[in-house]
Amino acid sequence: MKIIDLFAGAGGMSKGFELAGFEIGVGIEWNKAALGTFSINHKNAESLDLDLYESPPPELIRNLKDEVLGIIGGPPCQGFSNARGSRRKDDKRNNLVPNFIEWVGLLKPNFFVMENVVGLKTISGGRFFQQVLKNFTKMGYNTQWNILHAASYGVPQKRERLFIIGISKEHSESWDFGNFFPKETHRVPEAMRGL
């Protein structure tokens, strides 16, 4: 069974999973240049040029359903981000988070990992984020979330990201769900947090 990388970009997130011992089966991305780089980074994976604003093609779902171990991805975050003053709850790209959820609901992987900016947690007074978690719960997933700072793991960047991990309830007992977020390896000064 394999990993599907939605919003795959050049394949950075899936490269981490590959280094951890997972097999990457499919990368889905609409940007052709990024998808070309994904293909180079993951020579044994299928590269699909799909518009993730659209619902998944039923034939593709049928073909993938029995092969999927996990779904990973970071839907575009510009509508949630504080970085460039672009934070807007009516940004069309915000709809790509529900589309990620749709893929999880259709393929029913054993687990998923979704990454985004910290602003996802607070947009619309936190209601959007709570609805995301409720949707995953309704689909049969136990979820955990955490905000990880890259510098806490030795990466020389002021970068915080929100991660949501979900394990299907039927697999939650057999997987050590309590240890999915890594312990910090480096101390980050308070002044660097929240940037």
Q: Which of 60, 165, 153 is nearest to 107 (CA)?
A: 60
Torsion over CA: 159, 93, 71, 41 (sign):
negative
Placement of tokens 């769900």 in the chain: 177
Amino acid, single-letter form, for residue 65: K
Secondary structure of residue 68 in the 3-state scheme: strand
Q: Is 58 an annotated catalytic residue?
A: no
Tokens of 81: 């981000």
HSE of 144, CA atoms in CB hemisphere, 13 A: 13
Which SS3 state, helix, strand or coil, does residue 55 take? coil
The catalytic residue among 8, 77, 104, 107 is 77
Instruction: Report helix, strand and coil shares of the chain as percent, to nearest 5.
Output: 40, 20, 40
Q: What letter does residue 80 receive in the DSSP assignment?
A: T
Q: 85: left (phi > 0), else alpha (psi -120 to 50), else beta?
A: left
Q: Which residues participate in catalysis according to the annotation?
A: 77
